[in-house]
Amino acid sequence: MRKKVVRLLAIGILSLSLMACGKKAEPADVSGENQAETTEEAKEDTTTDKAKDAESEIGNPWKDSSAEEIESVFGCVFQTPLDATNVSYQMLNENEMGQMQFTCQELEFTARIQKTEGLTDISGANYDWTMESDLDLAGAPGCTMRYVSDKEMVDVLLWYDEYNGVTYSLMTSAPDLNEFDIVPVGQEVYLGPDPLADGECFMPSDFLQEREQKDCFESFDEIISLLQPGEAYAIIQMKDAKGDLLVITDGTYEDGKGNMVAMDGYVYGKTDRGITNIGNVFSSDKAYPLACDGEVLYTAGTQEYCSYFMMEDGTGLMVKDYICESTEDGKTSYVGFLRSEKSFDEACETQVEENDAESFRQRMDVYASKPVIEFIVVV
């Protein structure tokens, strides 16, 4: 079984919070496709007779297909969600892209699959995204994107199956998606390359769950006993957590000060089910290992800062502040948000101004003042 690092941050909690930096999937060039327009005015336009005539001359690039045909072309299949209805399959041009359309939770969905050289936006949705977030879905790197206007909300989930070399996309839209999370639906759609023998697809949140094929443990001691040489663990505290938290990692390094530190951490805590993964955190550069001051957990990189606090019910991590710096054509700009309370209410969020270098510098100084998480390496 392949070994993958899973970066999913507590499904349904972090999936739409982070605004991606430098990892945005490049749009795919899909000929003849016009699934979404760039402005609300364009989306409201009706198809003209001239466009219809042109389509008739060119021919519809989509043809009816089946789950079996899609599997034969791409080496993997769409899993149909249990409560899905009106399921249909299509193929684009000469087996260029596979598609499944279905209804679920009273929403219309379009799922796609295409051979690509990495994570690529194959959704066909061209919007000025309001929110973007990186994640890993069952070992597949991906991202979520949400567009919000007065009339419509659009959600897109992308993920890249490195094993088969394909990108998946999942899209839906509705007047209001505030209470909706697209990630669980994506989990049902994604049938990974290593399904369980009974045909069900186990969705691990980290390297340990993938290896053990379980996501709930009896104690920290059990988890520690399952770690292999070279893997490591640390005990930390955070405000509102239900007791201590266990952070595990599959890669550590010495920080030059005698500490064994890590860039990636998979956080376990006590929940109603037992000891489960409540969030994953990642720094983007070895110069910025994971840090924690007993209340807030910190990650950083040369061009990004992120902090997390524990949700008030103790069931998962939640992004507190996120700022990303980028430079294009010699111009440096910033994007992100600062959250004042443990709430997804937009009233508790302050968007970072494009030229707000001071906020970024101040928070990088905060990170530098915090103690790193010191790990114990299994031998």
pLDDT at 201: 54
Q: Which residue has the higher pLDDT, 10 or 211?
A: 211
Q: Which residue has the higher pLDDT, 6 or 93?
A: 93
The tokens of 29 are what?
A: 């060039």
pLDDT at 176: 92
* Of the listed ranges 157-161, 200-204, 207-211, 247-251, the one predicted with least confidence: 200-204
**Residues 270, 297 within the same domain:** yes
Cα atoms in the 13 Å half-sphere on the side-chain side of 1: 17
**Residues 339, 368 within the same domain:** yes
Mean pLDDT score of the chain, rounded to an integer?
A: 83
* Of the listed ranges 194-208, 265-279, 356-370, the one predicted with least confidence: 194-208
The boundaries of the domain holding residue 101 are 26-189
**Residues 231, 321 within the same domain:** yes
Cα atoms in the 13 Å half-sphere on the side-chain side of 342: 16
pLDDT at 22: 37
pLDDT at 315: 84
Which residues, at least 6 apart from 36, have a Cβ–Cβ distance to it below 8 Å?
A: 43, 123, 124, 125, 126, 127, 154
**Residues 234, 349 within the same domain:** yes
CA 53, 58, 59, 65 torsion: positive or negative? negative
pLDDT at 301: 95
Q: Which residue has the higher pLDDT, 220 or 22?
A: 220
pLDDT-based confidence at 138, cuts 50/70/90?
Answer: confident
In a domain, 296, yes or no: yes
pLDDT at 63: 93
In a domain, 8, yes or no: no
What is the mean predicted confidence (pLDDT) over 201-220?
87
Q: Which residue has the higher pLDDT, 231 or 194?
A: 231
**Residues 211, 150 within the same domain:** no
Which residues, at least 6 apart from 22, have a Cβ–Cβ distance to it below 8 Å?
A: 303, 324, 326
How confident is the model over 295-352, as pLDDT tens digits? 999 999 999 999 999 988 888 999 999 999 999 888 999 999 999 888 878 888 899 9
pLDDT at 23: 40
In a domain, 16, yes or no: no
pLDDT exceeds 80 at position 41: no
For residues 254-292, one letter each, b for 16 or more C-beta atoms within 10 angstroms of the residue's C-beta and e for the rest, the string is eeeeeebbbbbbbbbbbbeeebbbbbbbbbbeeebbbbb
Q: Which residue has the higher pLDDT, 267 or 134?
A: 267
Q: Looking at 189, 220, 252, which one is the last position of a domain?
A: 189
What is the mean predicted confidence (pLDDT) over 197-208?
69
pTM summary value: 0.51
Q: Looking at 189, 222, 249, which one is the last position of a domain?
A: 189
pLDDT exceeds 90 at position 159: yes
Helix/strand/coil (H/E/C) assignment for every residue in 152-208: CEEEEEEEEECCCCEEEEEEEEECCCCCCCHHHHHHHHECCCCCCCCCCCCCCCCHH
What is the mean predicted confidence (pLDDT) over 39-55?
42
In a domain, 198, yes or no: no
* Of the listed ranges 19-23, 199-203, 318-322, the one predicted with least confidence: 19-23
In a domain, 194, yes or no: no
pLDDT at 227: 97
**Residues 63, 96 within the same domain:** yes
**Residues 269, 351 within the same domain:** yes
pLDDT-based confidence at 17, cuts 50/70/90?
Answer: very low
pLDDT at 30: 45
**Residues 152, 82 within the same domain:** yes
pLDDT exceeds 60 at position 263: yes
In a domain, 11, yes or no: no
In a domain, 270, yes or no: yes
**Residues 287, 140 within the same domain:** no
What is the mean predicted confidence (pLDDT) over 187-209?
66
Alpha helix positions (H), 40-189: 40-44, 49-58, 67-74, 182-189
pLDDT exceeds 50 at position 9: no
What is the mean predicted confidence (pLDDT) over 282-292?
95
Q: Looking at 139, 156, 189, which one is the last position of a domain?
A: 189
In a domain, 334, yes or no: yes
**Distance between CA atoms of residues 170 and 315, nearest Å:** 27
Cα→Cα distances 185→62, 74, 102, 123, 201, Å: 24, 21, 11, 16, 13
**Residues 213, 351 within the same domain:** yes
**Residues 218, 359 within the same domain:** yes
Looking at the 3D structure of the chain, how many domains does it have? 2
**Residues 174, 233 within the same domain:** no
